[in-house]
C-alpha cells in the first residue's frame, strides 16, 4: 500500500511496481512482442509523467528524471525500440500536455537521445559507456541542440541561452 503522504509519486510508484510484478510473473507465457509492447507502454507513460509533471520546468531550463525510462528501455530492448519510445513519448507528451508550441526539433533531439542510449547501453553497460552516454546527452543534445531549438523558437541569442543552460548541464 503506497504511503498517502507521497501523493502522486507514491501512487505512480505503486502502480509501476504492480505492473512490473504482473509482467514479470507472466513474462514466460507471453511472446516477446507482447512483452516489448507492454513494457514500452508503461515506459512511455512513465516518461510523460516524469517529464511533464515531476520535473522542474523554466523557459530555458528543465531538470528531471525523464531519462530513466529511456535508459531502461535501452538496456532491456536495444536501439530501435528506444528510438521509437522516445519519439512516441515526445509526441504524446506534447499533444496531451503541451507546455508551449510544438517544435519538431525537440522530437529530433528525443530520437537522438534514444539512439545514444540504445547504441551505448543496449548491448553492454560499463561505467565508461554510461559516462559517454550521459555526456553526449547532456552536452551535445541537451546543451547544444536544445539550446539551438530554444533560440530558434523564441528568437533569443544562442550565446546568452548557452550560458544560462550551462548551469543546468553542470548541475546534472
In tens, the pLDDT along 19-52 reads: 666 666 655 555 677 788 888 899 999 999 998 8
- Under DSSP, the state recorded for 21 is H
Cα–Cα distances in angstroms (integers) from residue 72 to residues 3, 40, 54, 97, in the given order: 25, 10, 18, 23
Banded pLDDT at 16 (limits 50, 70, 90):
low
Break the chain down into helix, strand, coil percent, rounded to 5. Answer: 75, 0, 20
Q: Where are the beta strands (DSSP E) in 23-101?
A: 56-57, 62-63
> What is the C-alpha separation between 122 and 143, in angstroms, rounded?
24
- Averaged pLDDT, 139-158: 90
The whole-model pTM stands at 0.76
Amino acid at each position: 500500500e503506497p504511503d498517502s503522504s507521497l501523493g502522486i509519486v507514491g501512487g505512480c510508484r505503486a502502480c509501476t511496481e504492480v505492473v512490473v510484478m504482473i509482467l514479470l510473473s507472466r513474462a514466460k507465457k507471453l511472446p516477446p512482442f507482447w512483452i516489448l509492447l507492454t513494457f514500452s507502454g508503461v515506459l512511455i507513460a512513465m516518461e510523460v509523467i516524469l517529464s511533464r509533471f515531476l520535473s522542474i520546468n523554466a523557459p530555458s531550463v528543465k531538470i528531471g528524471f525523464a531519462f530513466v525510462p529511456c535508459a531502461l528501455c535501452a538496456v532491456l530492448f536495444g536501439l530501435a525500440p528506444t528510438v521509437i519510445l522516445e519519439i512516441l513519448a515526445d509526441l504524446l507528451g506534447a499533444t496531451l500536455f503541451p507546455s508551449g508550441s510544438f517544435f519538431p526539433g525537440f522530437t529530433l533531439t528525443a530520437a537522438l537521445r534514444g539512439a545514444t542510449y540504445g547504441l551505448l547501453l543496449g548491448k553492454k553497460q560499463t561505467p565508461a559507456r554510461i559516462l559517454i552516454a550521459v555526456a553526449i546527452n547532456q552536452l551535445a543534445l541537451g546543451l547544444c541542440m536544445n539550446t539551438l531549438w530554444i533560440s530558434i523558437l523564441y528568437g533569443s541569442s544562442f550565446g546568452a541561452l548557452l550560458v544560462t543552460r550551462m548551469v543546468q548541464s553542470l548541475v546534472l
